[in-house]
Chains A and B, each alone.
Chain A
Amino acid sequence: AQSVTQLDSQVPVFEEAPVELRCNYSSSVSVYLFWYVQYPNQGLQLLLKYLSGSTLVKGINGFEAEFNKSQTSFHLRKPSVHISDTAEYFCAVSDTGANNLFFGTGTRLTVIP
């Protein structure tokens, strides 16, 4: 089975500063990887996904993530954050048979003015 570890439960960062949210996964098979965002009082929405091909994936709102197979990581980055990026971010993994989708425990990003 797959699992996901999000190392930081909370990340405060000043506006316009860069941010990296860390995600490591565990799997004995090939995986698909996802980042979802949850704004306050809303459901989750997809930021970006890695299925195959280029290991650098670009998503919405200026976010990107890099798949690193040797380090089993899929860290999320943004070069300059905005107040509106304040939200909970979830990393998720599934096997390539897509039989299940496992979410991490989430990282709460707080952007400080």
Chain B
Amino acid sequence: DSGVTQTPKHLITATGQRVTLRCSPRSGDLSVYWYQQSLDQGLQFLIQYYNGEERAKGNILERFSAQQFPDLHSELNLSSLELGDSALYFCASSVGGRRTGELFFGEGSRLTVL
């Protein structure tokens, strides 16, 4: 158990819909990262938050947005969903804002868009 909690574990929805994925980092970790894992793209970095503020941005689509709340949990919002958005979405956390150390990953949220 990494200490990172993601909900829901599985989600099935239709094209055009909007979903929200939730992540609770390990106790004491200030940074939260979101990654997308798909068969054709591999593991892609989406976005990082540190103590409530956006720290780094990767290959995140404009239809996607995220935020980190004062209690440090984070939400990833995916809107106008397309078939290609079907993937496993991972949240990870770390103590600091720089990735010199270990990232702790949750078990992921599997999104299926039909």
Q: Which of B33, B42, B92 contacts A105 (CB 8 A)?
A: B42
In the bound complex, do residue A103 and residue B43 qualify as a contact, i.e. CB atoms below 8 Å apart?
yes
Q: Which residues of B contact A105 (CB under 8 A)?
A: 42-43
Q: Which of A20-28, A39-47, A61-69, A75-83 contacts B (4 or more CB under 8 A)?
A: A39-47
Q: Is the interface of B mostly helix, strand, loop or mixed?
A: loop
A residues 83-113 near B (Cβ < 8 Å) are 90, 94, 97-106
Q: Which of A32, A43, A51 contacts B4 (CB 8 A)?
A: A43
Binding site for B on A (CB under 8 A): 32, 36, 41-46, 49, 51, 90, 94, 97-106
B49 adjacent to chain A (CB < 8 Å):
no
Interface string of B80-114 (1 = CB under 8 A from A): 00000000001010000011111111111000000
Q: Which residues of B contact A45 (CB under 8 A)?
A: 2, 104-105
Residue in chain B with minimal CB distance to A98: B98
Q: Which residues of B contact A32 (CB under 8 A)?
A: 99-100
A104 to B43, CA, bound (A): 8
Between B58, B99, B100, B102, the greatest number of chain A beta carbons within 10 A of the residue's beta carbon is seen for B99
- Given known pairs A44-B90, A45-B2, A106-B42, the reply for A101 and B99 (CB within 8 Å) is yes
A32 to B102, CA, bound (A): 12
Q: List 25 A-B contacts (CB under 8 A).
A: A32-B100, A36-B103, A36-B105, A42-B107, A43-B2, A43-B90, A43-B105, A44-B103, A45-B104, A46-B102, A51-B100, A94-B99, A97-B98, A98-B99, A100-B45, A100-B58, A101-B33, A101-B99, A101-B103, A103-B42, A103-B43, A104-B42, A105-B42, A105-B43, A106-B42
Residue in chain A with minimal CB distance to B108: A43
Q: Which of B43, B45, B92 contacts A90 (CB 8 A)?
A: B43
Q: Which of A36, A46, A98 contacts B100 (CB 8 A)?
A: A98
B56 adjacent to chain A (CB < 8 Å):
yes
Interface string of B4-33 (1 = CB under 8 A from A): 100000000000000000000000000001
Q: Which residues of A contact B101 (CB under 8 A)?
A: 49
